A and B are shown apart, each in its own frame.
Chain A
Amino acid sequence: MSEKPRGERKFKYVGTRPIRHDGLDKVTGRAQFGADYALPGMLWGKVLRSPHAHARIRGIDVSAALALDGVKAVITGRDFPDVASEAAEGGEGANDFGDLAMNVMAREKALYHGHAVAAVAATTARIAEEACKRIVVDYEVLKPVLSLDEALAPDAPILHEDARATGHEPLPKGPSNVASRRELGRGDLAKGFADADVIVERDFRTPMVHQGYIEPHAVLARTGQDGRSVVWCCTQGPFMVRAFSAKVLGLSTDMIKVIPTEIGGGFGGKTTVYGEPLAILLSRKAGRPVKLVMSREEVFRATGPTSGTHIRVKMGATRDGKLTAAEATLYYEAGAFKGSPVNAAMMTVFAPYKLANVRIEGWDIVLNKPKVAAYRAPGAPMAALVVETVMDELAEKLGLDPIDLRLENAVHEGVQATYGPKFRAIGFVETLRAAKSHPHYKAPLGKNQGRGVACGFWFNAGMSSSANVSINEDGSAVVVTGNPDIGGSRASLALMAAEELGIPVENVRPVVADTEAIGYTDLTGGSRVTFATGMAVIEAARDVIKQLRARAAQIWSVELGSVAWEDGHALLLTEAPGVHEPLSLAQLAGRAAQTGGPIVGRAALNARGAGPGFATHICDVEVDRETGAVTVLRYTAVQDAGKAIHPSYVEGQMQGGVAQGIGWALNEEYVFDKNGAMENAGFLDYRMPVASDLPMIDTVIVEVPNPMHPYGVRGVGETPIVPPLAAVANAVQHAAGVKLAELPISPPRLLEAIDRAS
Chain B
Amino acid sequence: MKIHVHTRVNGEATEFLCAADRSLLEVLRDELALTGTKEGCSTGDCGACSVMLDGRLVCACLVLAPEAEGRSIETIEGVAKGADIHVLQRKFLEHAALQCGICTPGFIIAAKALLERNPDPSEEETRYWLAGNLCRCTGYDKIIHAVLDAAADLRGETR
Q: Which residues of A contact B (CB under 8 A)?
A: 17, 19-20, 22-24, 26-33, 35-36, 38, 126, 211-216, 262-267, 293, 295-296, 486-488, 646, 648-649, 651-653, 655-660, 682-684, 688-694, 696-697
> In the complex, given contacts A23-B98, A27-B85, what are 13 additional A-B residue pairs having Cβ atoms less than 8 angstroms apart?
A27-B105, A28-B36, A28-B79, A29-B37, A263-B100, A264-B102, A651-B96, A655-B138, A656-B137, A684-B43, A688-B136, A692-B128, A692-B131
Report the Cα distance A663→B136, complex, angstroms. 10
A648 surroundings in chain B (CB, below 8 A): 95-96, 142
Bound together, the chains give a CA A211 to CA B135 distance in angstroms of: 12
Contact of A28 among B41, B42, B48, B89 (CB under 8 A): B89
Report B-chain residues with C-beta under 8 Å of the C-beta of A30.
36
**Interface residues on chain B, number (Cβ under 8 Å):** 58
Say yes or no for B73: interface residue by CB 8 A criterion: no
Residues of A within 8 A of B135 (CB): 214, 691
Alpha-carbon separation in the docked complex, A138 to B76 (Å): 47
Instruction: Choose from B34, B75, B96 the contact partner of A20 (Cβ within 8 Å).
Output: B96
Within 8 A of A (CB), among B59-117: 75-77, 79-80, 85, 89, 92-96, 98-105, 108
The answer, yes or no, to whether B27 is at the interface (CB within 8 Å) is no
Give Cα A264–Cα B40 distance, bound, in whole angstroms: 9
- Tell me the bound Cα distance from A266 to B137 in angstroms: 9
**Which residue of the partner chain, among A265, A652, A684, contacts B102 with CB atoms under 8 Å?**
A265
Nearest B residue to A22 by beta-carbon distance? B101
Counting from the closest, the 10 A-B pairs by CB-CB distance are A29-B36, A264-B102, A659-B139, A26-B101, A648-B96, A655-B139, A29-B76, A683-B45, A487-B99, A36-B35
Least CB separation from B128: chain A residue: A692
CB of B140 within 8 A of CB of A659, answer yes
Contacting residue for B139 out of A22, A126, A646, A656, CB 8 A? A656
Known: A26-B101, A28-B76. A691 touches B127 (CB 8 A): yes
Most chain A CB within a 10 A radius of its CB, from B75, B93, B143: B93
- Residues on the B chain within 8 Å of A682, using CB: 41, 43, 45
- Judge whether A214 and B108 touch: CB under 8 Å: no
Q: Which residues of B contact A213 (CB under 8 A)?
A: 100, 102, 136
List the A side residues contacting B128 at CB < 8 Å: 691-692
Chain A residues near B7: list those with CB within 8 A. Answer: none
Do A649 and B93 touch across chains, with their CB atoms under 8 A apart? no
From A264, A296, A656, contact of B42 by CB (8 A): A296
Could you give 5 example pairs across A and B, Cβ below 8 Å? A27-B108, A211-B136, A264-B103, A487-B100, A659-B138
With A214-B46, A214-B135 already in contact, the answer to whether A683 and B96 are too (CB < 8 A) is: no
Query: With A28-B80, A36-B35, A215-B100 in contact, do A660 and B144 touch (Cβ < 8 Å)?
Result: no
Contact of B93 among A20, A33, A486, A487 (CB under 8 A): A20
If A26-B101, A265-B100, A488-B99 touch, whether A691 touches B140 (CB-CB below 8 Å) is yes
B127 neighbours in A (Cβ, 8 Å): 691-692, 694
Tell me the minimal C-beta distance from A717 to chain B in angstroms.
Answer: 10
**In the docked arrangement, what's the CA distance between A351 and B80, Å?**
50
Q: Which of A36, A212, A264, A696 has the most C-beta atoms of chain B within 10 angstroms of its own C-beta?
A: A264
* Chain B interface mostly: loop
A700 to chain B, nearest CB (A): 14
In whole angstroms, how far apart are the Cα atoms of A296 and B93 in the complex?
A: 28
Nearest-neighbour CB distance to chain A for B123, whole angstroms, equals 8
* Alpha-carbon distance A350/B17, docked complex (angstroms): 62
Asked if A691 and B39 sit within 8 Å, CB to CB, the answer is no
Q: Which residues of A contact B151 (CB under 8 A)?
A: none
Write out the residue numbers on chain B whose beta carbons fall within 8 Å of the beta carbon of A683.
Answer: 40-41, 43, 45-46, 134
Report B120-137 CB contacts with A as 1/0, cut-off 8 Å: 000110111011111111
A652 in complex: contacting residue of B85, B89, B131, B138, CB < 8 Å: B138
Q: What residue of chain A has the Cβ atom nearest to residue B96's Cβ? A: A648
> Smallest CB–CB gap between A539 and chain B, Å?
26
> How many whole Å from B57's CB to the nearest CB in chain A?
15
Determine if A697 and B139 form an interchain contact, defined as CB atoms under 8 angstroms apart: yes
Nearest chain B CB to A129 CB, angstrom units: 11
B12 at interface, CB cutoff 8 A: no
Chain B, residue nearest A266 (CB) = B100
Chain B positions within 8 Å of A26 at CB level? 98, 101, 104
Instruction: Collect the chain B residues with CB atoms within 8 Å of residue A20's CB.
Output: 93, 96
Contact between B38 and A264 (Cβ–Cβ < 8 Å)?
Answer: yes
B89–A27 contact, CB under 8 A? yes
> Which chain A positions have C-beta within 8 A of B79?
28-29
Whether, in the assembled complex, B141 has its beta carbon less than 8 Å from a beta carbon of chain A, the answer is: yes
The smallest beta-carbon distance between A489 and chain B, in angstroms, is 10
| Beta-carbon contact of A35 and B144 below 8 Å | no
Interchain CA distance A216-B45 in the complex, whole Å? 14
Contact of B99 among A293, A652, A696 (CB under 8 A): A652
Among the listed B100, B134, B137, which residue makes an inter-chain contact with A690, where contact means beta carbons less than 8 Å apart? B134
Task: Check if B93 sits within 8 Å of A23, measured CB to CB.
Answer: yes
**A185 to B: closest C-beta gap in Å:** 37
Residues of chain A within 8 A of B134, CB atoms compared: 214, 683, 688, 690
Closest Cβ of chain B: how far from A363's Cβ, in Å? 30
> Within 8 Å CB of B141, what residues of A?
651, 655, 694, 696-697
The CA-CA distance from A28 to B83 in the complex, in Å, is: 11
User: Closest B-chain residue to A27, C-beta based?
Assistant: B89
Bound complex: CA A110 to CA B30 (Å)? 33
| Complex CA–CA separation, A9 to B28 (angstroms) | 51
The distance in angstroms between the C-alpha atoms of A31 and B37, with both chains bound, is 11
Complex Cα–Cα for A486 and B39 (A) = 18
In the complex, what residues of B have CB within 8 A of residue A33's CB?
A: 35, 38, 102
In contact, A29 and B105 (Cβ under 8 angstroms): yes
How many Å lie between the Cα of A214 and that of B126 in the bound state?
21
For B125, give the chain A residue with the smallest CB separation: A692
